[in-house]
A = this chain, B = another copy of it.
Amino acid sequence: MNPYIRRIKELSKKMDPEILAEVEAGFVEKEYAKGSLLLQVGQICTSHFLVQSGVARKFYCHSNKEITTEIYFHDDVAISLDSYIMKKPSDVYLEALSPLKVMVIDYKRFQKVSEKYPEVMILDKMFIEYYAVWFEKKLKEFQTLDATTRYLAMLEKEPRIIQYLPVTIIASYLNISLETLSRIRSKITA
């Protein structure tokens, strides 16, 4: 996702500085310890979390297993979209996987600014558009690629993931078992 966020960031630089200042006045910096939760299941997600430094993930539990659906690095935005949009309790966790620094962007406050300035709303809309496109692509990956190919695609497109994260989480992100991931790796290296 983060090339998209960067694009939005760039566009925001072209905005009237006063408006930009008003937007950014609503950003609050916050830190989380490794392992702590930015969002609990059951909580309603009322903010975007823009990652400044560190790593985080989104995951949910299904038959005693954790499934990681997104991994966030610098300039990624962590959010439980379903909860945020539908204003209903989240069915996913957002967790810091390292000491984490984020900008918290509060929904209500941002909403107000966004309704005042169309150019802000356009960027907000752009964020969701990119998110939707990203999901469509992920879905396609699961529909068409087998485990090995998904792993290779990840190596190629998101190499930071293998550099920083334990196998448990990588496997759950690829939606395969630990053992299968291990076998894929040894096959590749050989």
Tell me the A residues contacting B by CB distance below 8 Å: 60, 62, 67, 69, 81-82, 85-86, 115, 118, 121-122, 124-125, 128-133, 135-140, 142-144, 175
The quantity of this chain's copies bound in the complex is 2
**Are the C-beta atoms of A67 and B144 separated by less than 8 Å?**
yes
Partner of A69, one of B67, B115, B132, B139: B139
A141 to nearest B CB, angstroms? Answer: 10
A58 to nearest B CB, angstroms? Answer: 10
Partner of A133, one of B81, B124, B138: B81
**Are the C-beta atoms of A67 and B143 separated by less than 8 Å?**
yes
Complexed CA–CA distance, A56 and B166 (Å)? 44
A147 to nearest B CB, angstroms? Answer: 13
Interface core residue of A85, A118, A133 (most chain B CB under 10 Å): A133
**Are the C-beta atoms of B135 and A136 separated by less than 8 Å?**
yes
**Are the C-beta atoms of B136 and A81 separated by less than 8 Å?**
yes
Partner of A142, one of B81, B128, B136, B143: B143
**Are the C-beta atoms of A121 and B125 separated by less than 8 Å?**
yes
Partner of A82, one of B67, B115, B131, B133: B133
**Assuming A121-B121, A142-B142, A144-B67, is B62 touching A132 (CB within 8 A)?**
no
